[in-house]
Amino acid sequence: MIETFELTKKFVTEDIETIALRNVSMNVEKGDFIAVMGPSGCGKTTLLNILGTIDDSSSGSYKFFGNDVNDLSERQKTDLRKKNIGFVFQNFNLIEELSVYENIELPLQYLGWKRKDRKKRVDEVIGQLNISHRKNLFPVQLSGGQQQRVAIARAIIANPALLLADEPTGNLDSAQGEEVMSLLNELNKAGTTIIMVTHSQRDASYSRRIIHLFDGQIINENLNKMI
């Protein structure tokens, strides 16, 4: 599903060049659940952003379902993203002006779904995630765990092939974190491919594969012992 070959990302300021990713080559199969781990500043989020097409690599290739993402225009990337990729962030990134329902509905709007279809799908997902009773609330009225549930609902609303999660439990207490992780686990079992950046060994334990990054390079890749 995903193939990267020697992905490199450099940040250049006036006099310093920082290399965030160095020759990262990896394959992701459909149905995978990968945890990306490593110390702060090792390039985890940069890698996730490039995989999510919200950032570009400086060199190397990135193929998504066999198509070279580097060849795509900004418009095509947007298109690819909204049809195939869902995002979950550490700080949830919900739009405060929109209600729970409207936040979840948003990707479908951008996909051009009809109102009736959108309603049907949103109702289905919020039922699945058990947040139906909160659909008219606004993000500030929810706890962190609840907000992350909403963010996950929004991420999966369009049935993406790939779910990218950037420290999804980073802002949550352990109980809420546990809850979110089991939710991701269920989604993976149902067929969603997940790539998750995390600091937490416990969260990583839910994955099938762990990739360790250090200074922008993959230093270790192993199948999770738990499985």
Please state, in angstroms and as integers, the Cα–Cα distance from residue 42 to each residue in 69, 206, 217, following that order.
23, 22, 8
Query: In the complex, what is the shortest distance from the CB of residue 83 to another protein, in angstroms, rounded to a whole number?
Result: 8
Site of interaction with another protein (CB under 8 A): 45, 49, 52, 54-56, 74-75, 78-79, 81-83, 87, 89, 93-98, 102, 106-107, 109-111, 154, 158
DSSP 114-154: -HHHHHHHHHHHHHHTT-GGGTTS-GGGS-HHHHHHHHHHH
Query: In the complex, what is the shortest distance from the CB of residue 111 to another protein, in angstroms, rounded to a whole number?
Result: 7
Question: Considering beta carbons, is residue 199 or 208 the nearer one to another protein?
Answer: 199
- In angstroms, the CA 127 to CA 80 distance is 27
Query: In the complex, what is the shortest distance from the CB of residue 129 to another protein, in angstroms, rounded to a whole number?
Result: 17
Question: Considering beta carbons, is residue 141 or 174 the nearer one to another protein?
Answer: 141
Query: In the complex, what is the shortest distance from the CB of residue 72 to another protein, in angstroms, rounded to a whole number?
Result: 13
Question: Considering beta carbons, is residue 45 or 200 the nearer one to another protein?
Answer: 45
Beta partners for residue 10, in sequence order: 19
Segment (H or E) for 185: helix 174-189
Query: In the complex, what is the shortest distance from the CB of residue 95 to another protein, in angstroms, rounded to a whole number?
Result: 5
103, 139 Cβ separation under 8 angstroms: yes
Question: Considering beta carbons, is residue 27 or 91 the nearer one to another protein?
Answer: 91
Question: Considering beta carbons, is residue 119 or 208 the nearer one to another protein?
Answer: 119
Among 5, 32, 62, 63, which Cα is nearest to 223's? Answer: 32
